[in-house]
Amino acid sequence: MRTYVITGGTDGLGKGLGLHFLRRGDRVIAVASGAAKGQAFLAEARRAGAADRAVFLQADLSTVAGMRQVVERVSAATEAVDGLVFGAQRFRTAREETADGLEFTFALAYLSRFVLGHGLLGHLERAEAPVVLNLAGPGGLPGRINWDDLQWRDGYSGMRASMQASRCNDLLGVAFPARHPDARTRYVLYNPGFVDTGLTDPLPQPKRAALKVLARLFAKPVGKAIGPMLALMDAPPRPALTAYLRGKPLEPAGEDFDPAAAARLDHLTTGLLDRIPAPR
Residue 83, beta-bridge partner list: 4, 131
Stretch that binds ligand NAP, among 4-12, 47-55, 249-257, 270-278 (CB under 6 A): 4-12
Options 119, 177, 198, 228; binder of ligand NAP; rule CB under 6 A: 198
Q: Is 213 helix (H, G, I), strand (E, B) or coil?
A: helix
Stretch that binds ligand NAP, among 45-53, 130-138, 241-249, 255-263 (CB under 6 A): 130-138
Name all contacts of 46-54 with Cβ < 8 Å and 24+ positions apart: 48/19, 48/22, 48/23, 50/22, 50/23, 50/25, 53/1, 53/22, 53/25, 53/26, 53/27, 53/28, 54/18, 54/22, 54/27, 54/28, 54/30
Q: How far is the CB of 1 from ligand NAP (least distance, A)?
A: 23
d(CA 72, CA 178): 24
Over the window 14 to 53, marking each residue x when it contacts ligand NAP by CB under 6 A and - when it does not, the resulting string is x-----------------xxx--x----------------
The answer to whether 108 contacts ligand NAP (rule: CB under 6 A) is yes
Q: How far is the CB of 199 from ligand NAP (least distance, A)?
A: 4
Number of residues this chain uses to bind ligand NAP (CB under 6 A): 29
Helices (H), the chain: 12-23, 35-47, 64-77, 104-105, 112-119, 121-125, 158-179, 207-218, 222-234, 259-274
Q: Which is nearer to ligand NAP, 108 or 124 (CB)?
A: 108
The answer to whether 60 contacts ligand NAP (rule: CB under 6 A) is yes
Residue of closest CB approach to ligand NAP = 12
Which positions touch ligand NAP (CB under 6 A)? 7-8, 10-14, 32-34, 37, 60-62, 87-90, 108, 135-137, 191-192, 194-195, 197-199
